Structure 1
Amino acid sequence: MWMSGYSTLFRSLIFPIMERYQRTEIRKHLAWLKKTQWLSHSEIEALQNKKLRALVRHAYRNVPYYHRLFKTLGLTPDDIRRKEDLSKLPVLKKEDIRKNPDQFLARNVPGSRVMETQSSGSTGEPLKYYMDKTSYSIGWAHTFRCWSWAGYSLGDPYVKISMSARTTLRKKIQDILMNCHYIHFSDVSVETLPGILEVMKKGKIIRGFASSMYLISRMIEESGVEDIPKPAAVMTTGDTLFPHYREAIESVFDCKVFDGYGGESTPIAFECEEHFGYHLCEESVVVEFLRDGEEASPGELGGIVFTNLDNFAMPFIRYKINDVGVKGEEECPCGRGLSLMSSVEGRNTDIVVTPDGRYIVAQFFANLFKYIESVQQFQVIQDRIDRLEVRIVANEKFSESDERYIYSKLREQVGENVDLVIRLVKTIPPAKSGKRRFVISNVSPF
């Protein structure tokens, strides 16, 4: 179905020329990562600790913020020799970087090697930050390694569905060379669906936000279209892949979904072909799952904190990404030595906290509304711990019995000490980033 001639030409000639022009080394790092994934866990841990020591020495010598932090705490780089020693340092927050971004820039990294970028800002103001070409290259190498788990090889055609339009000639040329067929999600509608599906048929894999792929899947189901693309895999990223998202996407496209997770240009975890959890990208990142300042136990929900081991231009050491996940406790049947994360539960603002100390993750609400046909969209807002507002976009089937059912199920979860309000609204707009959020809580769970 997918031609291999261009793939061979791309790997042997086109991509090497692109890398020389862009001054990247993705191929080199990809080859390395394909070997390191089969190392034992102890060998990978030794590699992590070696890279961590180099990063800490660099940050202490060349990054004003970290030099001052170590001096204030009475620490030297020799005090951080293993990833367990990271607990001696405070957690880094977005606000810390926003206050003094220049204090986080390394003084010894040439400007020609530094790239400016920013986070999506899905929960507020985007964070501007910097990365070096090495970190950029390794990040893409991790992504391509994950795609290889789904059967993709460099140069194979793929489809990218994104919230951002391709506006520059440089990006359009890059898409052509990378064999990427680009779809702007804003162009997807019932009217344009036939043409969109024709484009999607061109890709060996399809990549997009989990929510975008789910909405397209639902659109295909409701349209009754029979000539549906059959990719080797769908690669999701960007927002939480809920079980009903996965179920719908896999059913419509008749293939497996491979979910990936990262933040601030840091690859954190990807699913392999066994779908036994998410392999942590431990060659490039140290991931902590914190609960009340301590490492959460396997199987326990914790706030995700990461240390990027490759970005020397602007080191992120113990960075709180404001997401929550569950640390894995088993080994994947695939045999890779990379540790597992059992699940990503979304942002910490996606968790409702009750006055009696219970946590309700977004998945509960997704499951609740999954089979209520009269509800088209919903959103849960928690402004304070004792109040919960549920906004619902309903259709003509919605009845008082539906509202009573929803209220009773919610009441069972939140208890009697919460002011529970159900509001019918006409629309629920997505965030500026294009991501749709089921739950927005302003009450910190940890």
Structure 2
Amino acid sequence: MTPWLVRGLLLPAHERLRGRATLAELAALRRGEQHPDAVYRLRREKLAALLEHCRDRVPFYRARLPANGALEVTDFPVLERDTVREHGDALCSDHYPGRLLPSSTGGSSGRPLTFWTDPVKETRHNAHKLRFRTWFGVRPGDRQVDFWGSPVELNKSSRFRRFKDQYLLNQALCSAHDLSPDRLEAYLRFLGRFRPHLVYGYPTVIARVARHAADHPRLLGGWRPDLVVCTSEMLYPQLREAITAGLGAPPVANEYGSRDAGLTAHECREGRLHIAAEHVWVEVDAPDASGVGDLLITNLDGFGMPLIRYRVGDRGRVSAGACPCGSPLPVLDRLEGRRNDFLVGAEGRRIHGSAANYVLREVPQVVQYRLVQRTDRSLDIQVVADADWGEAEARQVAEGLRRTLGMEVPVRFERVSVIPPSASGKYRWVESEALEP
């Protein structure tokens, strides 16, 4: 469908039928970018209103807060995922004027989480996505292909919905679960025909598609996306490089967020992650000497089931410095993975999993890997490698990992033909069982 027709007619009609004012919210966000003081005043006002709402209308918080007096976000307890599982009903507003919508996470951390969202939260979540994409010239209604594996979306994808999304809204969905050579070839042919402006999805999956495109460039018919947005996994340098090389050097941007906490940050053209400050309140809990700590997210628009100071399981650092791109939004200048994405080194030192990634990326024979550190700190590595992989390469990896950990540990290799994704469609590169609970 012609993008201007989708943008001007079909998408607005679709959003109105769904009861969402997404495009009006997008316009308000774009106007707010011109007035930094207004952005910060708005988020303070939204936070104050949300905290009062929690005390007055949410049983879980009402039982834990003083009945009167001014509230600060730090008056609220840190909210853990297990607490949401145990007290889900009590975390819902008992006077929410609209309807609540059931939702769930993909379960990449091991256990899916069921929770409730609401139309306002979802509308503003979508508006922020659209706002960040306009920074790269991608507008609502432009053609988009999602490489996705979440059962939440795939199970919803009836034949009618997929027809509606692709042919009326310019949004096509490709499964991240089947990445066989035949399927990759079919995806490339589809991209060459559909010619999307935006490619969105898991970086590991898009990188696989891009590597196949590098080997079979004619299948794309000269197509190149205007933007690739990677989400839900760590965007490691070699993944960004593979996507750039295979898809014609488009901008590749990282999007950070979660289904339960909401869209949190998005990269600008300068490569810095800007926090969606009108949508989320970000705290860094117990920062270390470098300022990195556990991220606590408060969604400022989630009045139906407010998640205040919600520990999302990732670590990061917030910067007070300005970005050369000119955006007034604060910057998440360091983002690390989940707690069990860290390895344990000598003397209990915690080492980010990307350190292992740097070791393995230096061995060109490695196509894909999965590393698990056991409770005794030994390492098990599944490796998908080309025909030149041998003892010398295994020894190089093992020695590099031992240097990284600063200690001698057993390193065991298992050569496999494929490493399947998790049930959510995501890949876990590094996982540690050695961290203290």
TM over 0.5: yes
Structure 1 residue 296, shift from structure 2 partner: 5.3
Residues 159/367 of structure 1: CA separation in 2 closer, same or farther (3 Å cut)? same
2:411 alignment partner in structure 1: 421
Q: Secondary structure at the match of 1:137?
A: helix
- Alignment counterpart, residue 130 of structure 2, candidates 125, 144, 148: 144
In the TM superposition, 1:186-265 aligns within 5 A as 186-201=177-192, 202-223=195-216, 225=218, 227-253=221-247, 254-265=249-260
- Which amino acid in 2 is paired with 1:10? V
C-alpha distance 400-198 of structure 1, shift in aligned 2 (>3 A): closer
Please report the RMSD computed on the Cα atoms of aligned residues, expressed in angstroms: 2.3
Q: Return closer, same or farther for 1:385/1:313 CA change in 2, 3 Å cut-off.
A: farther
Aligned pair in 2 of structure 1 residues 356, 257: CA closer, same or farther (>3 Å)? same
CA distance in 1, matches of 2:297, 2:288: 14
Query: Could you report, residue by residue, the CA deviation over 1:7-53 in whole angstroms, capped at 9, with x for unpaired residues?
Result: 3333333223212211111011111111222332x543332221111
1:350 alignment counterpart? 341
Of 305-314 and 218-227, more deviation after overlay is shown by 218-227
Aligned residue-pair number: 426
Is 1:34 equivalent to 2:30 in the alignment? yes
Contact residue 47 and residue 283 of structure 1 kept, 8 A = yes
Residue 9 of structure 1 aligns with which residue?
5
1:205, distance to aligned residue in structure 2 (A): 1.4
Q: Does 1:404 align with 2:395?
A: yes
Read off the aligned partner of 1:185 and give its amino acid letter: A
1:77 to 1:376, Cα distance in 2 relative to 1, 3 A: farther
**Distance in 2 separating the partners of 1:167 and 1:441:** 38
The question of 1:90 aligning with 2:77 is answered yes
Rounded to whole Å, the distance in 2 between the matches of 1:76 and 1:384 is 46
Deviation at 1:194, TM superposition (A): 4.1
Aligned-residue offset at 1:102: 0.8
Deviation at 1:187, TM superposition (A): 4.6
User: What CA distance in whole angstroms lies between the structure 1 residues aligned with 2:229 and 2:168?
Assistant: 20
Equivalent position SS for 2:77: coil
**SS of 2:283 mapped into structure 1:** strand
Instruction: Find the aligned partners of 1:29 and 1:63 in 2 and give their Cα distance.
Output: 26
CA distance in 1, matches of 2:381, 2:409: 11
Q: Distance in 2 between matches of 1:364 and 1:55?
A: 40
Q: What are the Cα deviations for residues 279-301 of structure 1, in whole angstroms up to 9, with x where unaligned?
A: 000101111122xxx3456x533
Q: Per-residue deviation at 1:221?
A: 2.4
**Contact residue 129 and residue 263 of structure 2 kept, 8 A:** yes
Deviations 1:166-219 (A, max 9, x none): 335234323332111332234543224443223223211111211111111122
Code of the residue aligned with 1:246 in structure 2: it is: R
Report the TM-score when normalising by structure 2: 0.90
Alpha-carbon separation, structure 1, partners of 2:259 and 2:172: 25
The answer to whether the 8 A contact 2:130-2:140 is kept is yes
Identify if the C-alpha distance between structure 1 residues 404 and 197 changes in structure 2 by more than 3 Å, giving closer, same or farther: closer
1:411 Cα offset (Å): 1.3
Distance of 2:436 and 2:324 partners within structure 1: 33
- The letter for the 1-side match of 2:411 is V
Structure 2 counterpart of 1:157: 143
Counterpart of 2:62 (choices 42, 46, 67) is 67
Gaps of 5+ in 1: none
Superposed CA deviations along residues 373-421 of structure 1, whole A, max 9, x for unmatched, are 33333222123264433333444422222222222211112123x6333
| SS of the residue 2:374 aligns to | strand
Instruction: Please state how far the C-alpha of 1:319 moved relative to its aligned partner.
Output: 0.3
Query: TM-score, structure 1 length as denominator?
Result: 0.88
Do the aligned residues in 2 keep the contact of 1:354 with 1:385 (CA within 8 Å)?
no
Alignment match, 2:161: 170
User: Do the aligned partners of 2:363 and 2:397 also contact (CA within 8 Å) in 1?
Assistant: no
Q: C-alpha distance in 1, partners of 2:385/2:190?
A: 33
Residues 444 and 207 of structure 1: CA distance in aligned 2, closer, same or farther (over 3 Å): same
How many angstroms apart in 1 are the aligned matches of 2:56 and 2:190? 50
Post-superposition Cα deviations, 1:82-138, rounded to whole Å, max 9, x if no partner, equal xxx42332211110011121111111124x532111111002111111111110000
Q: SS state of the match for residue 79, structure 2?
A: coil
1:440 aligned to 2:435?
no
Counterpart residue identity of residue 235, structure 1: V
1:282 aligns with 2:268: no
Confirm or deny: 8 A CA contact 1:302 1:324 kept in the other structure: yes
**SS at structure 2 position matched to 1:331:** coil
Matched residue, 1:340? 331
Do the aligned partners of residues 198 and 223 (structure 1) sit closer, same or farther apart at CA in structure 2, a change above 3 Å counting? closer
Q: 1:215 to 1:68 in 2, by over 3 A?
A: same
After superposition, where does 1:43-82 map in structure 2 within 5 Å? 43-70=38-65, 75-76=66-67, 78-80=69-71
**5 Å matches for 1:268-417?**
268-275=264-271, 277-290=272-285, 294-295=286-287, 300-384=291-375, 386-416=377-407
Q: 1:144 to 1:385 in 2, by over 3 A?
A: farther
Contact 1:92/1:318 (CA < 8 Å) preserved in 2? yes
The code of the aligned residue for 1:282 comes to A
Counterpart Cα distance in 1 of 2:250 and 2:406: 40
Q: Is the 8 A contact 2:6 2:170 kept in 1?
A: no
> In terms of mean alpha carbon deviation, does 27-36 or 399-408 score higher?
399-408
**Residue number in structure 1 paired with 2:117:** 131
Q: Is the 8 A contact 1:328 1:340 kept in 2?
A: yes
